[in-house]
Structure 1
Amino acid sequence: MKKYIAALLLVLMLAAGAGYYVYVNRDAVTSSPFHKDLPFGSVSNALADEQNNLYVIDNSKKTIVKLNSSGNVVYTVSTNDTGGEIYHFNELAADKQGNLYTVKTTLDSYGLTVKSEQIIRFTPEGEQDQAFFRKDYKDKSERKRYRIGSLKSLKVQGDVLSFFVDDFNETTLFHTGVGSTDPKAMFTAKLPEGKYLAGVAGTNVGQIYVSVRSGEIYRMMEGGRYELIYPLPGIDRSYRNFPEKLSLDGKGRLVYIDYYGETISRIDPANPYIVEALLTKETAKQQDMEISSDVMPTIAIGADDSLIVVHEGMILRQNEDGTIRAKVTGGIYSAETMGHKWFVWGLALVGLLLLAFAVKLLYFNIMNRRISLMLKQIIVFVPVIAISMVLLSYFIYMNFSQKLEDESIHELSLLARNGRNLIDGDKLEKMNSPLEYRSNDYKMFREKMDSVFDGSEESDNRGFYKALYKYENGVIYRIIEDADDVNMFNPFPETEKNQEVVKQGKITTDRWQDETGFWIYALGPIYNSSGKIVGLFETSKNMEGILQHRRELLRNIIQNITVITLVLLSIFMLMTYLMLSSIRKLRSSAIAISKGNWDTVVNIRTRDEVSDLGDSFNMMAEHIRGYIAKVTRVSEAYYRFVPQQFLKYLDKDSILEVQLGDQVEQEMSILIVNIRSFYLLSKRLTPEENFNFINSFLNRFGPYVRNHDGLINKYAGAGFMALFPNVVEQALLSCIGMRKELDLYNVHRANSGYKPIDIGIGLHKGPLRLGIIGEEQRLEGNVISDDVNLANELERLTEPLGASILVSDFIIQSLSDRSIFQYRCLGLIRVEGKEEPLQVFDVYHGESDTARALKEKTKTLFEQAVVLYQVGRFYDAREAFVQVIKINRQDKAAKLYFYLCDEYFQNGTTEEWNGTLFVS
């Protein structure tokens, strides 16, 4: 025994060690070891350093991936959302030593409001080693920032790290040494009156450029002076054409995205009248990248002045001369990384095998030994209760999570519907250009949108994201959004949902995924005074925030249920110990009786069920004593038995006339009734409950046999066999009556707190021989016929074919009036032990109104499909069965035929196939 326990402890320690190592290196098991590639998903930014390493922000701003010049993955670092906060990576910069600098943005638990930002550095190996600057947004009087903070344009030149802090209508340049954590304000640029910052580029005074929300680019100079760089008088551009994603290359030229020109353009501030097109819509399309007015990429400038274009899961690199250098869609794991991944996966498998071996040691070795019942209960019930609590936690979590999501969608719909009351459609229709950013109408719209959530400031707007769009000439334009990186009159992609709003005026809800995360949203129309749809109002929530709340909920549920489980186990163990003392007395008394000491009496005074068991034990001992004496007297008198109901068929007047071998042949209808899943049901009942249940069942259903001139030949634990010597209508009416009675019986069971049951009924007609079998000292009435087996087989087929009553063709052919019954043909079915197939019919006359109506509605189509199947037209049959299933999704027979038709259509039939159906 000690050796087994020592082995068990050793195996558990090894499994725990393997599990801990796998947990620490859990990133290695998030992808298959058979895949060497790391594909990009939702890329939001990219950067190339002087060593041609590529840094990518992927996975909706949650992961940074570093690729070397060969495209191999050097490292990946990810954020871990904790404490009700969500983290994103924004901005990238790299120094000559291969260190990476990024802005780690902390958002609220809904993934909307920026709480803080911090510039952090990663070593060339991907380890975080230093933090440089932190900005918190805790002042409630300060204007909130959504999704994007105020830190912009992170850049490293030499040994100096520079960045800007945006204060909406002015921006401040900070410099700090790459080894210092004390940045200095170098220059503050105040924007022209009425202008608001969109982007900023440059690191040296005199070469700092800002783009504003109204679409211009200014050069900011000392003394608060500024100079318009773009657009200058004479430059042809649309009044809605404004630069996006402003960047500055090593030669002082400005690179930006031109939305309406559908190009990535470049201008030299020294000669701003010349606008170069670096990448056009046509050249991008050749690289499977789309540049259009509603789907625009992100850009960056590499250390060698190459253009880096990011679009969804693709990164395009273009040399300064316009040639395409590379198109990157992912990285490749190195052999060392793959080796480590295989090791972690292998260790995980070893841990599972060790755990399985520990279970074997525990339950097959130790449990089979003679040990205390107390220990066995601990070994059995502790895992059972723990697993039960885990499953309970999971179901509670899933139900609550689904309810939370459904309530969020419903709330979003209500808020989106309210958009028509918040927004003046006539004023929205008059907005025509980004020049109206922060205009009076803009501010009024903004204030009204925010006013919807004024009562929920304590919860940061409860995670709601708001947006206003204008619909003009078939195009949807962004006007106002909570996101601080979205400009006015930025075209919005056309989707099926927003087209339903602008064309049909519907309130629609859906899900949306982009580089910022996964969202649920609702859209509502906005009308002008003439009833024309001129815009859309959107309310949405970040699913990332909802998932964060779900995880927090799950943690709380697990913690509470763990405490409850421990308390319950402690109480259970204590009660078990007290109960075992009484059980030991019972055991001693039982041993005494087993040795023939019939006068043994057990004395238990605990006043509980064990005490009742002791009293019952004493009564049992007394009954045993009396029963032994009684059995001795009557055992010889009852040595023969023949059922009374057989006498009239055997033409006997008295049981005394019955002889071994008496027999007669007759043609009868054979009915088999069985309770489905009776074994599982009986396992949950005590022997007394089993008997009560069986008697209750027979009490309910037996009269339907007698009332239709039948007799029950044999009782089985799960049902009975009955014979009907007269017309088959009586047998069929008995079946239908029992099926209807089943519904009433289940109502009675439900009222008594029991689960419903189901039965299967098989009915066949044929010749059978009734007689007396056995031997002289023990006789029994029995029926011998191959048709009994067929009736049994029909009953067995009821469940897989989704029928309550299955009858053979012999029954249907014998009916004098078939029109009074509802049934359908299931085709020819192969029956085990029979060479010839059997024509089987599903009698649904006694089923529920819904089931009967559905089968009646699909009867003709179903039987046509069966005929198509029998002649080998599997494609046509399959399509017909699909139509049946669409109407009646519970039709098991149609589903079975559908799968067979599909299999035979795809792979052909065997040589032995003859149009029949085989049900295993």
Structure 2
Amino acid sequence: MKGKLIALLLAVVVGALSLVTLREHWTVNPFANEAAYTYISRVATDSDGAIYAITDSKKAIRKTNASGKLIYSVSSADDADPNTITLYSSISADEAGNAYALETILDSYGLRVYGDRIVRISPDGSRIEPLYSTNYEAADNLLRVGNIQSLSVKDGFLYFFRKDTSSASLLKLPTDIAGGAPQQPEVVRTTEMANNRYLNEMTGNDENQFFFTSKRGRLFKAENGEVVQLYPAKNAETQLNFPVGIVAEGSYVYFIDYHDAAVKRLDAGKPESAPETFLTFDQLTDIDPKVEWSDFTSLTATGDRIIVATGDQIVALSPAGDVLSYETGYHYPQSDMWLKLGYWLLIVAEAVLAVTFLRLVYVHLFRRRVFLLLKQLALIIPVVLLFMAGLSYSVSHSVSAEIKKNTDSQLKLLAGNGRYLVSGDNLEKLNSPKDFRNEDYLTIKQRLNGVFSQNGESRDGLYNTIYRYMDGKLYIIMDDDDSVTMFQPFPVSEDNIRVLQEGVVVSGEWEDSTGQWMYALGPLYNSEGDIVGIYETGKDMTGISKSTSEIVVNILNIIAIIGLVLLFVITLMTVYLLSSIRKLRRSVNLIASGEWDVKVQIRTRDEVEELGERFNMMASSIRQYIQEMTKLSNSYFRFVPQPFLKVLGKKNMTQISLGEQTNRRMTMLVCNMRQFTEFSKTLTTDENFRFINSFLKEFGPAVREYGGFTSRYLGPGMLSMFPGEPGEALKAAIKLRETLETYNRKRGYSGYEPIEIGIAVHTADVMLGIIGEEQRLEGSVVSTAVELTLELEKLSGKLGVNVLLTEDSLRSMKKLPPGSYRKLGSFQMGEEQQTIELFDVFEGDSEHIRKLKQETKEPFERAVELFRSGRFYDAREVFVAVVKKNRYDLAAKLYFFECDRYFQEGVSEQWNNALKIS
């Protein structure tokens, strides 16, 4: 059972470790096989048609194959450094299925950029290796967006752009480099920018040509060091259209036009040509009416298809503009479902193993009893954990709500003060992207920078955005990091309408492909008192959630420590209170085990001490009673031995009744003093009694030592019964011979003559029971085997044998006796025709006699066999040789005389090959 418990415990531990290791397979519904895309920001594809999407507001990358089956999903949090937030900003893939992702490392508020890192993700998502990293200083004034962008793979190289103040550099890394240690990329080409160009986005991986946009809504081509404006035409009128998300494929440049709610493209080889509309918002709404025009997030172009990503959909189009596929989600591999189902089965198996283990512990280790301490802890621990969980939830909920409440109040206050920070008159003068960083733009920007430092750490995570209200529409004008294009249309929501129409400050939360935010909106007025725009300030919810989580974790740690201390104190108090009860229990166990002199000492000055005093009184009474009963019981056992009762299946004399009997195979040992009749004549009656008692006192313990009991006394001798193995009776016989030597030495010291005893051991079925009448009972053994054993003891003297053993006893022994015994042959007792095989055990003889019998054992036993086969002459000659060597061997002499008689007179027809003893 111990091995089974250990095996079960190991199984439970292995199961628990497996549940922890495989916890990513946990799901409430293991049969759910599909999931929807949420908040897609970037998409890439490879030659096999696999889709690599940055989703969940830049927090995850999911790869699906051409059929929409999920290959892997990796989280930016897995690669995040302590006290930072990591978001994915760009992605590309090579022909081998490796993904290359740009990670932007932000501060804990999700605002200031600490650095950019490019990592390679293996085709199955099992390895993420860093290839390149760069760090930024606070003086770089980078908020939310770093200087690295536009990853692309071509001809075994990874290309990307690095944006500086007045230049753009195309860099490349070989895709076959070993990951693990950041590499230094090769600068392919650096293009200097004009002072008023204000670089925005870049794309391309041709060493001689790439494309870029400026903050003023211009699209340029840089080729062999020359820069050509592609869009809008140089002589075009002022417009609000702004190219976003540019991507080059062949001779075309694709971009998103938020103003026209369309994806457009233009032929880079024809700078003067107007862009053509490739995909319109109306086309998307025909497929899915839920799509919003602001949901355009990413473009990816390959030779055979163009991938357009919205917030929750991925649309694949042919170069002709035909829709090839429309994906709103992905499905898990069949193996994933089996793994999730397997995880549930593992939970069930762990529960079954745990219950089985606890049941075995309860049944076999605790013996269906549970310690009081465990009962109390089993009640206290769940209650404490329940209250801790409730307190943790209450505290976390309260902390989160309080943080949000304080943040909301702070944002409302700042949004309300926006009218004093931003001049509505300056805002009204900004009419197109061409006004980026003009005098009015810089006036507004400087006012904001005077209040909110560009250093992300000193801004407490706050951001600012200004919207222009013009012609009934809302446009984004500026943002902290200038990452949002100027005059990008912004949907007019209910919150915006309230600010514009009622002039109130409104707050709320939202999530899109760029992240999660808390915000507050306040109206902006011109000098005439008209609302001309909206001032927005807010915080990244990722930073707020992380701060809340850290506070909650700290609170939970404190609560856990308090809970552990509380459990320790409760356990300590319980152990102290139970110590007195354990004293009582130990005392009761001692009394139950026969330790009557028990007295418990309890000094708790309470009810338990009083119980201890009553226990001592009870123990004293029991002790006195037990002593009296023990004396009485011992007196009974003097007349009826306890082993005799045990053979009858009784515990004490009170259970004995007349006629109790049992038939059982037992070993009988008869030990008697030889020539006692002649010896007793030399003693008085009183001396005879004293001698007999001293004899029995000396020899009786040897019988009890080996599990026997005396059934009947035979004067200076006894009939003993052995319920156990016959070998124990033989050991007792040898012990009696050793006791005789000691006894005779004592007699010699006192001047008395030594005595001799004879011992016979025989095994047979006997009837043990209670005989007598109601007023006088006696335990007795009834069997002809008893009489036979008595006769055998007498025969032992004639044969000169000290310990005579029957064949029945020898065969019944589990282990044969030592080598100091010899076969005496077959004997016929009196007129009975039945014969009995006898053995001479000379282990207890004197050393001289034992040596002689050992030396003559082989010829003696050979002579016995000759006698039994009727070869009396040959047997007589061998017996003569035995007697010549051992003149004390009475058995050999007796055989000699019988052989001589049978040789001369012959044997009768009734002779049964046995030596007849009369």
State the TM-score, normalizing by the size of structure 2. 0.60
Are 2:112 and 2:455, in contact at CA under 8 Å, matched by a contact in 1? Answer: no
Match of 2:54 among 45, 54, 57: 57
Aligned equivalent of 1:312: 311
Give, in whole Å, the separation in 2 of the partners of 1:379 and 1:367.
15
Give, in whole Å, the separation in 2 of the partners of 1:452 and 1:358.
66
Q: Give the partner amino acid of 1:53.
A: A
SS at match of 2:206: coil
Deviations 1:410-456 (A, max 9, x none): 111111111111111111122111122222332332333344444x9
Give, in whole Å, the separation in 2 of the partners of 1:27 and 1:573.
36
Aligned equivalent of 1:494: 492
Are 1:412 and 1:540, in contact at CA under 8 Å, matched by a contact in 2? Answer: yes
Q: Give the partner amino acid of 2:336.
A: T
Are 2:242 and 2:485, in contact at CA under 8 Å, matched by a contact in 1? Answer: no
Aligned equivalent of 1:246: 246
Give, in whole Å, the separation in 2 of the partners of 1:360 and 1:545.
48
Deviations 1:470-524 (A, max 9, x none): 1122211111123543111111112111111111111111111101222221111
The structure-2 alpha-carbon separation of the partners of 1:358 and 1:472, relative to structure 1 and needing over 3 Å to count, comes to farther
Aligned equivalent of 2:233: 232
Give, in whole Å, the separation in 2 of the partners of 1:41 and 1:572.
49
Are 2:25 and 2:340, in contact at CA under 8 Å, matched by a contact in 1? Answer: yes
Aligned equivalent of 1:298: 297
Q: Give the partner amino acid of 2:25.
A: A
Aligned equivalent of 1:869: none
Q: Give the partner amino acid of 2:216.
A: S
Check if 1:72 corresponds to 2:80. Answer: no
Give, in whole Å, the separation in 2 of the partners of 1:546 and 1:246.
33
Q: Give the partner amino acid of 2:439.
A: N
The structure-2 alpha-carbon separation of the partners of 1:582 and 1:303, relative to structure 1 and needing over 3 Å to count, comes to same
Aligned equivalent of 2:515: 517
Give, in whole Å, the separation in 2 of the partners of 1:350 and 1:280.
55
Check if 1:45 corresponds to 2:45. Answer: no
Deviations 1:643-682 (A, max 9, x none): xxxxxxxxxxxxxxxxxxxxxxxxxxxxxxxxxxxxxxxx
The structure-2 alpha-carbon separation of the partners of 1:160 and 1:602, relative to structure 1 and needing over 3 Å to count, comes to closer
Are 1:602 and 1:614, in contact at CA under 8 Å, matched by a contact in 2? Answer: no
Give, in whole Å, the separation in 1 of the partners of 2:356 and 2:439.
74
Give, in whole Å, the separation in 2 of the partners of 1:379 and 1:351.
20
Q: Give the partner amino acid of 1:333.
A: Y
Check if 1:192 corresponds to 2:190. Answer: no
Give, in whole Å, the separation in 2 of the partners of 1:458 and 1:65.
30
Deviation of 1:358 after TM superposition, in Å, equals: 5.5
Deviations 1:615-660 (A, max 9, x none): 8879999xxxxxxxxxxxxxxxxxxxxxxxxxxxxxxxxxxxxxxx
Aligned equivalent of 2:559: 561
Deviations 1:530-561 (A, max 9, x none): 22111111111222222212222233233333
Q: Give the partner amino acid of 1:580.
A: L
Check if 1:117 corresponds to 2:128. Answer: no
Give, in whole Å, the separation in 1 of the partners of 2:108 and 2:614.
67
Deviation of 1:214 after TM superposition, in Å, equals: 0.4
SS at match of 2:492: coil
Q: Give the partner amino acid of 1:544.
A: T
Deviations 1:123-149 (A, max 9, x none): 211123432210112x22212222x22
Aligned equivalent of 1:182: 184
Matches within 5 A, 1:426-825: 426-454=425-453, 459-583=457-581, 605-606=603-604, 611-613=605-607
Aligned equivalent of 2:798: none
The structure-2 alpha-carbon separation of the partners of 1:194 and 1:572, relative to structure 1 and needing over 3 Å to count, comes to same
Deviations 1:30-74 (A, max 9, x none): 462222112211111112211111111111112211121222222
Give, in whole Å, the separation in 2 of the partners of 1:584 and 1:191.
88
The structure-2 alpha-carbon separation of the partners of 1:429 and 1:370, relative to structure 1 and needing over 3 Å to count, comes to same
Give, in whole Å, the separation in 2 of the partners of 1:46 and 1:458.
29
The structure-2 alpha-carbon separation of the partners of 1:273 and 1:8, relative to structure 1 and needing over 3 Å to count, comes to farther
Q: Give the partner amino acid of 2:263.
A: I
Are 1:259 and 1:296, in contact at CA under 8 Å, matched by a contact in 2? Answer: no
The structure-2 alpha-carbon separation of the partners of 1:556 and 1:363, relative to structure 1 and needing over 3 Å to count, comes to farther
Deviation of 1:377 after TM superposition, in Å, equals: 4.1
Are 1:63 and 1:89, in contact at CA under 8 Å, matched by a contact in 2? Answer: yes
Give, in whole Å, the separation in 1 of the partners of 2:614 and 2:518.
68
Are 1:367 and 1:376, in contact at CA under 8 Å, matched by a contact in 2? Answer: no
Aligned equivalent of 2:288: 288
Deviations 1:878-904 (A, max 9, x none): xxxxxxxxxxxxxxxxxxxxxxxxxxx
Q: Give the partner amino acid of 2:231.
A: Y
Give, in whole Å, the separation in 2 of the partners of 1:15 and 1:495.
56
Are 1:262 and 1:291, in contact at CA under 8 Å, matched by a contact in 2? Answer: no
The structure-2 alpha-carbon separation of the partners of 1:31 and 1:619, relative to structure 1 and needing over 3 Å to count, comes to closer
Q: Give the partner amino acid of 1:194.
A: N
Q: Give the partner amino acid of 2:193.
A: L
Q: How many residues align?
A: 600
Aligned equivalent of 1:843: none
The structure-2 alpha-carbon separation of the partners of 1:265 and 1:289, relative to structure 1 and needing over 3 Å to count, comes to farther
SS at match of 2:321: coil
Are 1:284 and 1:291, in contact at CA under 8 Å, matched by a contact in 2? Answer: yes
Aligned equivalent of 2:692: none
Deviation of 1:582 after TM superposition, in Å, equals: 3.8
Deviations 1:323-370 (A, max 9, x none): 211111112222222222221232233334444556666789977844
Are 2:46 and 2:93, in contact at CA under 8 Å, matched by a contact in 1? Answer: yes
Aligned equivalent of 2:126: 127
SS at match of 2:151: strand
SS at match of 1:203: strand
SS at match of 2:441: helix
Are 2:230 and 2:272, in contact at CA under 8 Å, matched by a contact in 1? Answer: no
Check if 1:334 corresponds to 2:313. Answer: no
Aligned equivalent of 1:36: 33
Give, in whole Å, the separation in 2 of the partners of 1:487 and 1:458.
21
Aligned equivalent of 2:97: 98
Give, in whole Å, the separation in 1 of the partners of 2:585 and 2:383.
27
SS at match of 2:77: coil
Give, in whole Å, the separation in 2 of the partners of 1:397 and 1:172.
48
State the TM-score, normalizing by the size of structure 1. 0.60
Are 1:206 and 1:219, in contact at CA under 8 Å, matched by a contact in 2? Answer: no
Q: Give the partner amino acid of 2:511.
A: Q
Are 1:101 and 1:119, in contact at CA under 8 Å, matched by a contact in 2? Answer: yes
Match of 1:213 among 202, 212, 215: 215
Give, in whole Å, the separation in 2 of the partners of 1:33 and 1:229.
53
The structure-2 alpha-carbon separation of the partners of 1:59 and 1:92, relative to structure 1 and needing over 3 Å to count, comes to same
Q: Give the partner amino acid of 2:230.
A: I
Deviation of 1:199 after TM superposition, in Å, equals: 0.9
SS at match of 2:116: strand
- Stretches of structure 1 that go unaligned for 5 or more consecutive residues are 592-600, 622-920
Percent of matched pairs sharing the same residue: 32
The structure-2 alpha-carbon separation of the partners of 1:161 and 1:9, relative to structure 1 and needing over 3 Å to count, comes to same
- Stretches of structure 2 that go unaligned for 5 or more consecutive residues are 178-182, 590-598, 616-918
The structure-2 alpha-carbon separation of the partners of 1:358 and 1:408, relative to structure 1 and needing over 3 Å to count, comes to farther
Q: Give the partner amino acid of 2:348.
A: L
Aligned equivalent of 1:155: 152
Q: Give the partner amino acid of 2:285.
A: K
Q: Give the partner amino acid of 1:247.
A: V
Are 1:122 and 1:130, in contact at CA under 8 Å, matched by a contact in 2? Answer: yes
Give, in whole Å, the separation in 1 of the partners of 2:383 and 2:290.
56
Aligned equivalent of 1:687: none
Q: Give the partner amino acid of 1:226.
A: V
Q: Give the partner amino acid of 2:442.
A: K
Q: Give the partner amino acid of 1:474.
A: G
Q: Give the partner amino acid of 1:537.
A: Y
Check if 1:260 corresponds to 2:259. Answer: yes
The structure-2 alpha-carbon separation of the partners of 1:150 and 1:410, relative to structure 1 and needing over 3 Å to count, comes to same
Are 2:362 and 2:369, in contact at CA under 8 Å, matched by a contact in 1? Answer: no
Matches within 5 A, 1:134-153: 134-137=133-136, 139-146=137-144, 148-153=145-150
